[in-house]
Structure 1
Amino acid sequence: MVDVGDDAPDFTVPLADGDVGSFTLSERLDETPLVLAFFPAAFTGTCTSEMNTFSDRIETFDSADANVYGVSVDTPFALNEFRRQNDLRFPLLSDTNRTLVERYGVSMDFASLGVENVAKRAVFVVDESGAVTYKWVSDDPGVEPNYEEIQTAAVDAAN
């Protein structure tokens, strides 16, 4: 699992920003700090609440020049619809190949539902050098992160 102080694993995945593009972490370090907010699945209650809360607080992240990206294993097409329906004000990253959940060590299964290898609810902040400066991971998909703590971590990573 990735820890604070580690280099963030590099990756390239589809970017859902109203269109479908490509996102490579190492090519986005000039946009740092980057807030990578992993969530299990679009269109579910707690995930929708979490992404809406990030969207509602986007000005705080903008003021720190931080860029928020939601990350799930959903397809970029589903994520674009999720963004549209919830009027999310930041892009989402599609980890359909499960590359990020494996590299960041945040994969979990819902065995009782027959669903395997989705993202745990987790947040990583990455600074301009590509280092992880903040990490929060929950084994309980019903728990949302402490948004004030993430905002503080983003501000700290920007300074």
Structure 2
Amino acid sequence: MSTRLQAGDPAPDFTLDDADGTPVSLADFRGRKVVVYFYPAASTPGCTKEACDFRDNLAELNEAGIDVLGVSPDKPAKLATFRDAEQLTFPLLSDPGREVLTAWGAFGEKKLYGKTVTGVIRSTFLVDEKGTIADAQYNVKATGHVAKLRRDWKV
């Protein structure tokens, strides 16, 4: 089981390829807040709902100084198809080796339909301007999650 991050922990740095194969680093966002959210698979119903919620709330998040990054184990080509189909306007990052997912505590044992399985744990983090975890949420629900974040963070 991977270690879970908490508010106050340093955000594990990473560089991952986006949907176009361009490297994106967490360090690129220093000086701004950034949501890093982890989801199991592009183009599945729950992940599509969550991504579209972030897309639909992106202007308000950006106005509050918050950028958004989505991370999944999908390869860049699948992420590009997902981005284009859903008109997503924030970076989707590829972690096929699951190293970043594991470092952030977003890969491990979870309950799925009453069974214990190993996989991506739907998780969302708010990283502050200095690269510190400001909020860590594990096992989040895909539906209604962004609205809850906006209420919690007063955005």
- Please, what TM-score do these two structures have when normalized by structure 1? 0.82
Unaligned runs of 5+ in 2: none
Q: 1:80 to 1:109 in 2, by over 3 A?
A: farther
**1:52 is aligned with what amino acid?**
C
Q: Conserved in 2, the CA contact under 8 Å of 1:121 and 1:144?
A: no
Which one of 6, 9, 14 corresponds to residue 9 of structure 2?
Answer: 6
- Please, what TM-score do these two structures have when normalized by structure 2? 0.84
Using the TM superposition, give the Cα deviation of residue 27 of structure 1 relative to its aligned residue in structure 2, in angstroms: 3.0
CA distance in 2, matches of 1:34, 1:153: 15
CA distance in 1, matches of 2:133, 2:87: 28
SS in 1 for 2:17: strand
Using the TM superposition, give the Cα deviation of residue 34 of structure 1 relative to its aligned residue in structure 2, in angstroms: 0.6
Matches within 5 A, 1:68-107: 68-107=68-107
How many residues align? The count is 148
Using the TM superposition, give the Cα deviation of residue 44 of structure 1 relative to its aligned residue in structure 2, in angstroms: 0.7
CA distance in 1, matches of 2:33, 2:51: 18
Q: Conserved in 2, the CA contact under 8 Å of 1:73 and 1:94?
A: yes
Question: Runs (4+) of structure 1 moved beyond 4 Å?
Answer: 109-112, 152-156
**1:7 is aligned with what amino acid?**
P
Q: Conserved in 1, the CA contact under 8 Å of 2:42 and 2:82?
A: yes
Cα RMSD, aligned residues only: 2.4
CA distance in 2, matches of 1:95, 1:117: 16
Using the TM superposition, give the Cα deviation of residue 13 of structure 1 relative to its aligned residue in structure 2, in angstroms: 0.9
Unaligned runs of 5+ in 1: none
Q: 1:76 to 1:154 in 2, by over 3 A?
A: farther
Matches within 5 A, 1:134-149: 134-138=135-139, 143-144=142-143, 146-149=145-148
Using the TM superposition, give the Cα deviation of residue 111 of structure 1 relative to its aligned residue in structure 2, in angstroms: 9.9
